[in-house]
A and B are shown apart, each in its own frame.
Chain A
Amino acid sequence: MFLYNLRLARMSLMKQPLLTTLMVSAIGIGVGACMTILTFVYVLSSDPIPEKSDELFAVRVDSWNPESPYDDDKPEEAPWQLTHTDAMALLESDVPTRHAAMRKAVYTVVPDNPEVAPFFNVARMTGGDFFEMFQVPFLYGSGWGPSADENAENVIVLGHETNEKVFGGTNSVGKTITLGTEIFTVVGVIDDWQPHILFYDMNNGETNPVEDIFLPFSITDRREINGAGNTNCWKDEQIDGYFDLLRSECVYVQFWAELNSAEQKAEYQRWLDNYTEGQKALGRFQRPTNNRLSTVTEWMEVQDVVEDEVMVVMSIGFLFLTACLVNTIGLILARFVAKGPIIGLRRALGASKAAIFRQHLVEVGLVGVAGGVLGLILSRLGIKGVQQLLSESDNLAALNLDLLLITFGIAVVSAIVAGLYPTWRVCQLPPAGYLKTQ
C-alpha cells in the first residue's frame, strides 16, 4: 500500500510541476535559511570537549574593585581572569587532579636555517598539566613534566605548522628552536587539534585558532615576556614596567582545574574560599567572597559565546520558516481541494477516510523529502556564504551527521505539519458531493 501511495503521490506531483516546484522551493528555502543560522548556533553552543567538560572548571576569584562589579551586566560574576599573583598562589593547591594557569604571549621564531625568514608566532604560556587535562593529541613526544614548570625550563611544545616551517615536519623532539634571543628544547609536537570553540581562553576571540607554540607559564614569572591578550585593571596604581604588572591588580591570566568528583570540587571550593579569606586579611579581596568554578559549558554561557545578534537572526530564521510553511499550506490546500472529484471517486469506490489520509500524507511527505534535499543544499550554500562574510575557515561547520538529520527532520516534519490541515480537509469531503456534475 505504501508503494502504491508513493506512486500515486509521484504521479500527482508530476501532473502539476509548477505548483510542486513552488511547494518544494518554499520548504527548501525555509529549511535552508533556518538551518544555516541554526548550524552556527548549534556549533557555537555545542560542547567543544564533551568527554570531560563536566570535570574541567574555569577558576575565578573576585579580586575586583570594592566599588563596582567586574561586569555591570552580570554583577554576580567574578572577573573573567586572574591576577598573576592569584594564579601563582592557586598553583600551590594540591586539591585538583590537574591544573594550569595560562596566558597569551607573542614571540619571534628565528629558525637556525638562514633560508627561512624569522616569523611571528602566538604562544600559550601554560602548565604541563594543560596537555593531559585537555586531552591534546601528540604527533611526537609529549608535554613537559612538573620539574620544567618548577624550574621555568626552556622547553617548548610545537604546533603542527611551526614544526613544518622550522623542521620540515620531521620529529623535532630534542632539537632546539630560537624564540627572540632565547633557545628552547622541543619536547613534543601536537597533532591537529582545534576545538571549535577556544574554550580555555574565550577572552580573545572564541573561535580563534589554537596557538602554535606552548611554553611553561612559570617563565612569565622569572623574566620579561611580550604578553598579549586582554588585560583589565581597576586599581589606580603606578605600573612601571613588566614586573610591576605582575604584582598589580590587573587581571589577564586564565586558570583551569580538573576536578573529578563533587567532593573534590567542594574541597577545592573550600580551599579557594580559605585562600581569599587570607588575602582579605592582607587588605585585598574587599568584595564579598565570590570564588567561582564553572564547567566548560557553564563558562561558555557566562561568556555569551552565542551572541544576542545571533539569537535575533535565529528568531528571524524560525519566523522565516513559518512564513514559508504558511505558503506551502496554501499551495497544498489548493491542489488537494482541486482533487476533490477524484477523491470523491476513490471514496465512492470504497477508500476509507484513513486510506485517503494516508495517501495524501505520503504525498506531502514526498514534498518534504524533496524540500529537505533542497534545504540541505541551500543551507550548505548559506553556511559557505556566511563564513565568507565572516572570513572564517570551514572548521566551524564541517558536515555533521546530527545537523544533516536535523535538517532533514525539520523539512519532513514541516511538510507534514503544512500538509496536515489540507489532508484533513480532503478527508472531510463527502464521497458523493463531488460526483455530481461540476
Chain B
Amino acid sequence: MLEMKEISRVYRTDLVETHALRELSLSVDTGEFVAVTGPSGSGKTTFLNIAGLLETATSGEYSLDGTDVSGLNDNQRSRIRNEKIGFIFQSFNLIPDLNIFDNVDVPLRYRGFDGAERRGRIEKALDQVGLAARMKHLPSQLSGGQQQRAAIARALAGGPSFLLADEPTGNLDSLMARQVMDLLEKINNEGTTIVMVTHDPELARRAHRNVQLLDGQLASPDPFSASQSTPIEADLQPVA
C-alpha cells in the first residue's frame, strides 16, 4: 500500500543543513492503522509531508499502491493527493466561508466529478461521520469535534487509498477526542488504511501498530500489538 525506502529529507540554509529524515524505510499494508509517534523535532511533520506528497524527499523511493511517486511533478502529485490520500489536520483546516456541504465538496470539484456524483459522495461521507443534518452549517457554527468530523468526511468523500491524520485530536477536549478516535477506528474497521502522526502515546495505543521516530529515523521496532476497540454508536451523535 505505502512503501518508503531510504527516504531522506535535508533542509538547507546558507549556514546549516538539517537532516529531518535519515534514510527512513517504512511500509504500511492495506487496512492497517499505523501511528507514527515521536517527540518534537523527531521528523514527524516531515514524514507526514512526504507521505502526503506535500513535500518531496531529498533522496529515496516512495511508492503508493504499487506506483512510484517519487519523481512526479507538481500537477501529478496534486492528482495523487486528490485521489489517493485523505488528509485530516490538527486544526481541521475547513474553509470558514463555505458550509459543511461545500467544504466536503472541495476535493470532489478538483477531481472533476459531475454534480450528481458529488452530491451522492458528500451525502454518503457526511452520513458516515454523523453530520448529515448539519450540512448547511458553517464551520464556525459547529463544535470542534463536529468540525473535525466534517474534515474527516472531506477526507473520505473522494474514496482515498488511505487517510493521513496529523494529530487529529490535538485541538479537541478529551470527550470530543474520544469521539473522533472512535470514528477513525470505525472507518478503519470498514477497510480504510490510516496513518496517524501524533505525539500522544495514549492515542497511539489505539492504532494497530506504532512506529516511533527519533532524529529522523525509526527508533525501535513496533513495541505494541494492536488493541482493538469497538466503536460506540451513541458516541457518534453530534455534540451540540
- In the complex, are there CB atoms of A and B closer than 8 Å? yes
Residue of B nearest to A433 (CB): B140
Contact with A along B77-103 (1 / 0, CB 8 A): 000000000000001000000000000
A400, CB-defined interface residue at 8 Å? no
A435 CB to nearest chain B CB (Å)? 14
Interface size class of A (residues with CB under 8 A): under 10
Contact with A along B55-92 (1 / 0, CB 8 A): 00000000000000000000000000000000000010
Query: How many angstroms between the C-alpha atoms of A438 and B95 in the bound complex?
Result: 12
A333 CB to nearest chain B CB (Å)? 16
A437 CB to nearest chain B CB (Å)? 6
Report chain B residues within 8 Å CB of A437. Answer: 91, 171
Q: How many residues of B contact A (CB 8 A)?
A: 2
Report chain A residues within 8 Å CB of B171. Answer: 437
Residue of A nearest to B92 (CB): A438
B175 CB to nearest chain A CB (Å)? 18
| SS class, residues of chain B in contact with chain A | loop
Query: How many angstroms between the C-alpha atoms of A365 and B222 in the bound complex?
Result: 64
Residue of A nearest to B171 (CB): A437
Report chain B residues within 8 Å CB of A438. Answer: 91
Report chain A residues within 8 Å CB of B91. Answer: 437-438
B96 CB to nearest chain A CB (Å)? 8
B138 CB to nearest chain A CB (Å)? 14
Residue of B nearest to A438 (CB): B91
B176 CB to nearest chain A CB (Å)? 14
Contact with A along B166-209 (1 / 0, CB 8 A): 00000100000000000000000000000000000000000000
Query: How many angstroms between the C-alpha atoms of A219 and B91 in the bound complex?
Result: 97
Contact with B along A398-438 (1 / 0, CB 8 A): 00000000000000000000000000000000000000011
B95 CB to nearest chain A CB (Å)? 12
Query: How many angstroms between the C-alpha atoms of A438 and B91 in the bound complex?
Result: 8
Contact with A along B105-141 (1 / 0, CB 8 A): 0000000000000000000000000000000000000
Query: How many angstroms between the C-alpha atoms of A438 and B171 in the bound complex?
Result: 11
A337 CB to nearest chain B CB (Å)? 13
Query: How many angstroms between the C-alpha atoms of A437 and B171 in the bound complex?
Result: 9
Query: How many angstroms between the C-alpha atoms of A438 and B147 in the bound complex?
Result: 13
Query: How many angstroms between the C-alpha atoms of A437 and B91 in the bound complex?
Result: 8
Contact with B along A261-301 (1 / 0, CB 8 A): 00000000000000000000000000000000000000000
Query: How many angstroms between the C-alpha atoms of A438 and B94 in the bound complex?
Result: 11
Contact with A along B145-171 (1 / 0, CB 8 A): 000000000000000000000000001
B124 CB to nearest chain A CB (Å)? 28
B22 CB to nearest chain A CB (Å)? 33
Query: How many angstroms between the C-alpha atoms of A375 and B91 in the bound complex?
Result: 46
Query: How many angstroms between the C-alpha atoms of A229 and B91 in the bound complex?
Result: 83
A185 CB to nearest chain B CB (Å)? 88
B54 CB to nearest chain A CB (Å)? 20
Residue of A nearest to B96 (CB): A438
3 A-B pairs in the complex with CB atoms less than 8 angstroms apart: A437-B91, A437-B171, A438-B91
3 cross-chain pairs, A with B, having the tightest CB-CB distances, nearest first: A437-B171, A438-B91, A437-B91
